Structure 1
């Protein structure tokens, strides 16, 4: 591919396979066949004529990215030319296909993510499912996202993926009810990275944490605490003190972006989540507020300046 404008404005549109297939295959050929060494016989398949396709074009109308949604409800063939990566093209393509999936009335979509792209899809609410596997000589991970119902969360990897997406989708507020900062979750690198980005965004952001056992978090040297030390106006902690409140078994996170992740048993990762369920998120926030008002300051963290 040559003759493209430098990265700048672009547009994403629905593509029609009979009309646009040469452009779509041109982009996919550069990314998958030339760059990644995928055999052409594997890159091309019979799903293309039956799939919904989207294409990204630069200001000059040249194709710079593409993706598809197959009849098997699988998103795939996500390809963006090298010089356009990191410019939001992949995000726009994926969001366009999610809109298409909703328009088709699909309850969920899945994809096979190359391992180095798992973080990208996690930020869009996809959660890992099952073991990794080889596809066309490249390690992949199946990922799934529910669209018309809560997403089932079954393990730590899925929990970390959905919390990452929730934090990134929050506008200014996070509400977290946790027993002791959940080892394996709030110390996960991608979750910590999302919280760091949230905390340094500015604009009066705040994350409130209600804990049942702050001493356990401190003994475990929870990595969130040093981050909170650097941003004490953002990350605030209180401890559940009322005996009635201490008997509450679930744990959850809710955001002002309309998302939530709820676990019936707070010492387990399995639960349910949605990225766009403002009613349920509001319900959890309303449950959180009176407990927060009754809770005591986290004196265990006083030495940390929290």
Structure 2
């Protein structure tokens, strides 16, 4: 074994990626093919590890810092190639400004990922019938040794600007449970008030028809705010009800990734197809906060920080729909 390389390659034109994953996951681990291929593949950054130009390993990186589909062909294991591959992915992620890396590790691989600085951040859960743990690494790649990394330079990496977390100070003064004013909101104000209200949440958050406002709920800042809520309030519960589990809501970085990591704190379900789908999108926070977009096709509405009567009314509607809601195979998609 003379020459080891890790390259960023194009998903559409590099058949070796599919060959390796098919051999490791579908044939060796007996994972259903319908779970192996998903909507993240066309938009992920893919890595191919070669030894003397022979493809032997692969991995992918999502825009939200998730590393997945890490695979080394069986006959090439035991040569530290998995570590070489992971270090390349982590170094690439750091170059993109990703300060937190996430992955879903099969139980047998926990020690491997711990050696790379990842820590378990969930209870055991099953994916495709295999025990997994969510793992996380903050401030990655500070002490990684140099490795040989070659990019073919023949395509553009899908890395939209929105994927980078944007931090800004919210100069808002409204307090949850105190201010009774009805505040009219447009698109930018909706984003700011949603973050401000989530920052004050303590017990529960209900979100209706999040898939009808992907422009709002698939933003990195919102996902981070929900993650911070469940981290600081371990008794808090977040329930999200969708009209449909659509690709725009599921693909890339999304709240679904958080559900896989915090399944007991965050639940996402689909409304029963026979129930009437409301035209509105809304979020209810604790006993008093309501953010309402009366028509999902318009990015405007209102917010109230202290409206317990309105929260009780919409909460009753939400809980009634939730009682008949369904899980969805797309929501439970396989994340390795």
TM-score, length of structure 1 as denominator length: 0.49
Q: Which structure has more RCO (C-alpha within 8 Å, separation ≥ 6)?
A: 2
TM-score, length of structure 2 as denominator length: 0.45
Between structures 1 and 2, the one with greater helix share = 1
